[in-house]
Amino acid sequence: MLFDRVQLLRLRITVKKLSLLIYAHNQRDLIKLLRRKFGWTDLDLPVIGMGTWKIESRGRDAQPTAIEALRLGLDLGMNHIDTAEMYGNGQAEQLVAEAVDGQREQVFLVSKVLPSNASYEGTLKACERSLKRLKIDFLDLYLLHWPSSQHGIEETMRAMEKLVDEGMIRFIGVSNFDVEQLREAQHALMKYRIACNQVLYHLAYRGIERDLLPYCAENGIAIVGYSPFGHGNFPSSHSRGGRVLAEIAKRHNRTMRQVALNFLTRDSNLFTIPKAGNPDHIRDNSGAVGIWKLTDEDIAAIDRIFPLPPTDKPLEMI
């Protein structure tokens, strides 16, 4: 006989110890999510958060999985959740309420008022409705979803300040604002500062790097990049760009999406909020930053294949 019983037992124990070690290493890898200072605030937030646009869209049967995905994300440290009254007409907020039930204190919860609701009274009422759907007493951050053509920014910002004073929101932010619009919003605030600007930012849309990113960094405004995977338009591994991402991913033993998220958060003022209704995707996204980093050569290669636009362009939104 090749092994006696004792040797076999020892071998089994060694294999078990080894697999536990590998498991622990993977877990550490997953939960070592990078956190950084959120703009001028004294908060440390995970670089990768979670979006919720269309989280409700796959119908009732898929909703438990979407909730499971959000809960897994929280377990893995992605405790910045982005939602909006617009998403599924409030349904996304209701799903988020279920996901954060029992762990509200651990979550940085963000919602947004629609520009059509952004009058003084309208903003106050919209916030109240969001709090009710989310089953919470206050939002950590409340954003104007995009600049309103109906209501002046002074009105909206006055309401935002009232919401802070009433303890219904902790921080004020905006979304889809260019530098000029940001200046106006800041100017309209009497007591508080803009904490964040949430803007479109993915490999094929890097326009914000020209003037918005430096302006926000200088003024302590955190940039949260949305639709990091191009809202379902991520480069295929057969495309030129996809091949570059795949090569880099292989070198680091990562996935193409992890490479993209790592690139999109390489600046110290950047955060990102990929949406994933699938728990495997959440797990994947949570490993995008932390104990590994793209090299300067990787960044240069991505820069060549997904270049900055040659000139300034108006801020885009989706």
Ligand X SMILES: NC(=O)c1ccc[n+]([C@@H]2O[C@H](COP(=O)([O-])OP(=O)(O)OC[C@H]3O[C@@H](n4cnc5c(N)ncnc54)[C@H](OP(=O)(O)O)[C@@H]3O)[C@@H](O)[C@H]2O)c1
Judged by CB under 6 A, which of 95, 107, 270, 276 binds ligand X?
276
Nearest to 31 by CA among 285, 286, 269, 317: 286
Name the residue with the smallest CB distance to ligand X: 51
Q: What is the contact mask toward ligand X in residues 137 to 176, using x (rule: CB under 6 A)?
A: --------xx----------------------------xx
Nearest to 284 by CA among 23, 61, 50, 38: 50
Q: What is the contact mask toward ligand X in residues 194 to 213, using x (rule: CB under 6 A)?
A: ----x---------------
* Nearest residue (CB) to ligand X, 155 versus 284: 284
Q: State whether residue 201 is helix, strand or coil.
A: coil
Question: Which among 23, 87, 120, 201 is annotated as catalytic?
Answer: 87
Interface with ligand X, residue 275, by CB under 6 A: yes
Give the whole-angstrom CA distance, residue 304 versus residue 94.
42
Stretch that binds ligand X, among 119-127, 148-156, 280-288, 292-300 (CB under 6 A): 280-288
Interface with ligand X, residue 91, by CB under 6 A: no
Interface with ligand X, residue 274, by CB under 6 A: yes
Question: 239: Cβ–Cβ under 8 A, 6 or more apart, which residues?
Answer: none
Interface with ligand X, residue 51, by CB under 6 A: yes
Q: State whether residue 172 is helix, strand or coil.
A: strand
* Nearest residue (CB) to ligand X, 165 versus 247: 247
* Inter-residue contact 200 to 224 (CB < 8 Å): no
Residue written as tokens 């209701």? Answer: 94
* Inter-residue contact 87 to 117 (CB < 8 Å): no
Residue 87 a catalytic site member: yes
Judged by CB under 6 A, which of 45, 47, 53, 245 binds ligand X?
53
Judged by CB under 6 A, which of 228, 235, 241, 287 binds ligand X?
228
DSSP 36-85: EE-TTSS-EEESB-BB-TTTTTT-GGGHHHHHHHHHHHHHTT--EEE--T
Binding stretches for ligand X (CB under 6 A) = 51-53, 82, 145-146, 175-176, 198, 226-232, 257, 273-278, 281, 284-285, 317-318
Active site (catalytic) residues: 87
